[in-house]
A and B are shown apart, each in its own frame.
Chain A
Amino acid sequence: MIQDLLTPAVLLGVAYSGIRLATPYLYATLGETIGQLSGVLNLGVEGMMLMGAYAGFYLTFRTGNPWIGLLAAVIVGALLGLANAVITVTLKAEQGISGIGMFLFGLGMSELLFRMSLGSVETVRGFAALRIPWLGNLPVIGDLFFNHSLLVYAAYLLVPVVWFILNRTTWGVRIKAAGQNPAAADALGVSIARVRYVTVTLGGVLASIAGASLSIALLNVFQQNLTSGMGFIAVALVYFGGWSPWGALAGSLLFSTVNALQNWIQVLGIPIAPDFALMLPYVLTILMLAIPFRKARQPAALTKPFERGEG
């Protein structure tokens, strides 16, 4: 039975699905990474993803144009992110709890809207696979890497972009300063509130696109609790990846590949409990968090609202 899994066709299938399914994790994890680096923990990613998935799906369903759906997801994400910034930056709420509030809000609201506006599970024609000229025609590699939907390519392109912003621009310095030593950054004239408003709003947009990537590019359906915990995984992947975009990429790929593998195990009817495979990344993450030498990386001011004169 297990050798069924080791045929080239199946392994290629696993790799292809793994690359595809990393997309939502990538958007959400990159957004969360930026927010955490600036000192704000967003535990509400899951709720924002659901809202983005619904908004993107509904407008695509109504208009038939996935671009309008994507735009809707971006707007919804920006609004939720902005609300989250007001809550965490201006009102200085306890982030571990306000995030649970945001999660419950998104979970309930997306289901409410779904039931009121659609009622049953529908499908849409979302972003179709786009074969890249020339590269897409290469044997094996072409199918594997260069025959994906636009939102998949964009997610991977975002990794070096975020890395560049964080490590090669003034904005990156400001973001990291706001998360490491906000008092010093403030003394140098950086507005901590402004930096965090930008990062948290951006985090909302990316979380929302993450959800939309599921509903209008990868699965092309919406149902209640579509994301089923992916947003929480994204939060963990930030720690897993050590607050680096490349780490986020590695973590996203690991998670999605394990997911793809267990889907194939089920499809092939191999009698291994897939649940243990699904458990593995979480166990791995806890272990990675617990290894002492990888620890001291957490932004020093994470979850701490900034108050002038508090040192």
Chain B
Amino acid sequence: MAGIGERLRSRILSPSWLAILTPLAAVAAALAVGALMLTLLGVSPAAAYAAMFDGALGSVNSLADTLVKATPLLLVAVGICIAFRGGMLNIGGEGQLILGALAATTVILALPDLPSWALIPLGLVLGFAAGALWGAVPGVLKARLQVNEILTTIMMNAIAVQMLNYLLRGPLMDPAQVQAGSFIPQTARFTSAADLPRLVPTRLHAGFLLAIVVAVLAWILLWRTTIGFRIRAVGLNPFASRRAGIRVSRYGVLAMILSGALCGLAGAVQVMGVNHRMFTDGSSAGFTGSAGFNGIVAALFGQLHPLGAIPASIFFGGLIVGANAMQRAVQIPSAMITALNGLLVIFVVSSDIWRRRLVQRQQKAEAAKALAGAEPAPT
């Protein structure tokens, strides 16, 4: 992906009002398309959107649900930010998330007698490590053998799903399921010692705070440390970075490892904070709810900035919760939101061209101004 650095540079150089306006315009456009779809389906868009808004933000409980849905999105989105900044297109969030959840699940099921203070960090750390490992493979293949990381991350997603299916239909299957002969592919419920603490008497768990802390740490890493500077330099211009003595392949791999690790952490947080067991329907979305893909959407929305990912993830968490409420209220399948998410991605990446043009025009104008100042005034 030689082109990505160049595109990102224009994204970074562009004026900040445009950085905020573009996603908002894309949201407006997608909601307008959604309204049109609703009208065609014979449902009042106002009623549907009101149900959605109410479902996402209408009460303390729904607000908590929004933040719960936002949690894995935020962790994945921050991971995606780091990878993209390092010039790596990580499409493997789904697989890394599954691996992280599997690692946490395995240790929690294996050591049910550990106290909370040991089990929770252990689960999170193993999730982080498993995701890192899953992200490292495409990173190393890209750095050493120039294998396209988009492809390998997609392949790794598929491999992760098969591992999940194998483990939940075999070694990790709930013994009660085996005894009862029902063979539903899921694990036993975890010991409650592994449950992430609840923050308020809602479903909101400490994983949300962890995700916020991770986002801030990622921002500090990328913009306040030498390592982060090098990751961004490699993503912006690998050739110049090499000239400047930066080990390009090393920082690309590092970006992929960190990215995978955060996606893995998202998986661990999801099983320990929400599901308290692992399950599969055979596909990847059955467990992840496509968080590995939706996290990319949130990262794009947050302008590939870890702090921008916070509001973006909350927004998309709200969309998901709101869509379920809308499904109940006006009988519109929540799949509509998946479709609108797709449109949003397309709108955002497609509208980038105007931003690039604007930046070019500004640069030209500045150059012309500088030139005009240098020339003697015509007499």
Point out residues on A near B: beta carbons under 8 Å. 41, 43, 47, 86-87, 91-94, 96-98, 100-109, 111-112, 115-116, 224-225, 228-229, 232-233, 235-236, 239, 273, 275-276, 278-279, 282-283, 285-286, 289-290, 292, 295, 298, 303-305
Contact = CB atoms under 8 A, between A and B. Distances in A.
Contact of B293 (A103, A236, A304): A103
4 A-B pairs with least C-beta separation: A108-B338, A105-B342, A101-B345, A108-B339
A112 B339 contact: yes
Contact of B336 (A108, A228, A290, A295): A108
The B interface is mostly helix, strand or loop, or mixed, namely helix
B4 A235 contact: no
A107 B158 contact: no
Contacts of B290: 104, 107
Given A109-B339, A116-B333, A292-B145, A100 B158 contact: no
B7 A94 contact: yes
Interface in B68-119: 89, 91
A223 to B, nearest CB: 12
A104 B145 contact: no
Nearest to B140: A290
B158 A229 contact: yes
B89 A96 contact: yes
Interface string B266-303: 00000000000000001111000010011011001000
Interface residues of B, number: 60
A229 B284 contact: yes
B353 A92 contact: yes
Contacts of A96: 1, 4, 89, 91, 150
Contact of A236 (B155, B165, B297): B155
6 contacts: A43-B150, A100-B91, A105-B343, A108-B335, A108-B339, A232-B154
Given A92-B353, A233-B158, A292-B145, A102 B346 contact: yes
Contacts of B41: 116
A86 to B, nearest CB: 8
Given A105-B339, A229-B158, A236 B346 contact: no
Contacts of B353: 91-93
B337 interface: yes
A104 B320 CA distance: 14
A224 B335 CA distance: 10
A295 B145 contact: yes
Interface in B148-164: 148, 150-152, 154-159, 161-163
Contacts of A233: 158
B22 interface: no
A97 B345 contact: yes
Contacts of B345: 97-98, 100-101, 104
Interface string B331-351: 011011111111111100111
B170 interface: yes
B372 to A, nearest CB: 24
B146 interface: yes
Contacts of A275: 162-163, 165-166, 169
B283 A91 contact: no
Given A225-B283, A289-B148, A290-B141, A93 B346 contact: yes
B166 A97 contact: no
A116 B332 CA distance: 8
A305 B7 CA distance: 11
A97 B166 CA distance: 30
B283 A87 contact: no
A104 B1 contact: no
Nearest to A83: B346
Given A92-B353, A107-B338, A289 B141 contact: yes
A41 to B, nearest CB: 8
A92 B6 CA distance: 13
B363 to A, nearest CB: 16
A289 B300 CA distance: 28
Given A276-B162, A292-B145, A295-B146, A98 B335 contact: no
